Amino acid sequence: MDAFKSWIARSGTGSILLLALLIVVVFPLTMDIFRLNLVGKYLTYAFVAVGLVMLWGYGGILSLGQGVFFGLGGYMMAMFLKLEASDPEATKIQSTPGIPDFMDWNQLTELPLWWEPFRHLPLALIAVVAVPMVLAFIISFAMFKRRVGGVYFAIITQAVALILTVLIIGQQGYTGGVNGITDLRTLLGWDIRSDSAKYVLYFVNAGLLIGVIALCRWIQMSKLGTLLLAMRDKEDRVRFSGYDVAMFKVFAFVLAAGISAIGGAMFTLQVGFMSPSFVGIVPSIEMVIFAAVGGRMSLVGAVYGALLVNFGKTYFSESAPDLWLFLMAALFIGVVLAFPNGLAGLYESHVKPWFARRKAPKAAPAAVEPPAAPPPSPSQKSAPPAALPGGVQGQSA
């Protein structure tokens, strides 16, 4: 029993379950479909933030180009949906029926060869994850093998984001240009714009997010996670211990890219279009802000960060259309000044000690009771770098 309890506490299962409860039960029960669909959209950004926790919080690699992978995942999905929406019947008004409308506007007369695989859902789904991961592998392999890191790597990721934006906008006959890929309707004949579809997609999205968090938590608790942490804090020592540091970094980068891409694909499904405005530098930095607000060491915190920032954005812009940018800025500055470790840091430094103080006097009976009492189980969220969390034991191996 005690062993189980300590495992629960160490693994952070409690806080993950609490998050799951919130997004799978509480939100759907308390919100109408319009708001729920918005939350679904925010949760797709949370994928990127979770990826950043693995990459930046654990791996110590700051990427300012995660929008690239989010966008690519979204575009892969959008290409499939667009082809389905562009059947010859629906596009008979065009000079070449059967191709996406923006191709017709750009005088293309047949579907480019590289679009062909996206006629098939399985291939498209594979591409959603595979294409961003392969790109991430190429970029990170080239950089990390040459021991490019830190701020230089961050700049290169920004450059990649810029390059991809320019490429997408410039090749509008093939990509839809600035407008992006719009007017997506059905997935295998199933109308994704209907309310029932929005519910289903919301739950698929929530399930995937919880799954991804569990996977990341599992990685964090494994030897691999410990190595990532060690690498972040003392890269040379890990290298001298005989580990191929570069490949571990590549792993972290590719992992984060794959996770972001899933978020991108879910975004396209729930919002109904994809545009280059998600690929660029600004959205990429915004996504880093989500992770920073939530706390970059905490997987669950990253989700709360994404939710909080986006709720703020929607709420402020609806209630004060003239002032909302200032209010958002105030929120960011406030968070960074007041709790530099984000929401999770706030929890660690204030909420947890408070619980501990309340628990302390009756410590003896508490040992007998089941561990249900304090909502999120401690210790998972953002152990400060000094005290290594989770599976530190693995280090001896």
Q: Name the nearest CA neighbour of 231 among 247, 254, 212.
A: 247
Task: Find residue 274's DSSP bridge partners.
Answer: 181
Residues 105, 108, 113: CA angle, nearest 5 degrees: 135
Q: Which residue has the tokens 């966008």?
A: 71
Min dist. Cβ of residue 182 to another protein (A): 4
Min dist. Cβ of residue 63 to another protein (A): 22
Token pair belonging to 135: 């790109």
Nearest-angstrom CA–CA distance, 11 and 391: 9
Does position 141 interact with another protein (CB under 8 A)? The reply is no
Min dist. Cβ of residue 323 to another protein (A): 10
Does position 352 interact with another protein (CB under 8 A)? The reply is no
- Point out which span in 139-147, 170-178, 366-374, 389-397 binds another protein (CB under 8 A): 170-178
183 vs 235, which CB is nearer to another protein? Answer: 183
- Point out which span in 21-29, 179-187, 202-210, 329-337 binds another protein (CB under 8 A): 179-187
Does position 358 interact with another protein (CB under 8 A)? The reply is no
Q: Determine the residue type at 241.
A: S
45 vs 251, which CB is nearer to another protein? Answer: 45
Does position 314 interact with another protein (CB under 8 A)? The reply is yes
**End-to-end Cα distance, the chain:** 26
Question: Which secondary structure element, helix H or strand E, spans residue 28, and what is its range?
Answer: helix 27-30
Nearest-angstrom CA–CA distance, 374 and 99: 57
47 vs 251, which CB is nearer to another protein? Answer: 47
**Cβ-count burial of 196 within 10 angstroms (0-12 exposed, 13-18 middle, 19+ buried)?**
exposed
Min dist. Cβ of residue 159 to another protein (A): 16
Among 25, 163, 166, 336, which residue sits at the site for another protein (rule: CB under 8 A)?
A: 166
Among 21, 178, 333, 356, which residue sits at the site for another protein (rule: CB under 8 A)?
A: 178
- CB proximity list for 331: less than 8 A, separation 6 or greater: 309, 312
Binding flags for another protein, 106-125, as an x/- string (CB under 8 A): xx------------------
**Footprint of another protein on residues 77-106 (CB under 8 A)?**
93, 95, 101-102, 105-106
Q: Which residue has the tokens 């000690």?
A: 353
**Footprint of another protein on residues 22-51 (CB under 8 A)?**
34, 37-38, 41
What length does the chain have?
Answer: 397
How many residues sit close enough to another protein to count as binding (CB under 8 A)? 37
Nearest-angstrom CA–CA distance, 66 and 224: 22
Does position 159 interact with another protein (CB under 8 A)? The reply is no
CB 11 within 8 A of CB 380: yes
Please report, for the chain, how many H helices and E strands are present, in that order: 19, 2
Among 5, 193, 358, 359, which residue sits at the site for another protein (rule: CB under 8 A)?
A: 193
Residues that bind another protein (CB under 8 A): 34, 37-38, 41, 93, 95, 101-102, 105-107, 166, 169-170, 172, 177-180, 182-185, 193, 271-273, 275, 277-278, 314, 317-318, 321-322, 324-325
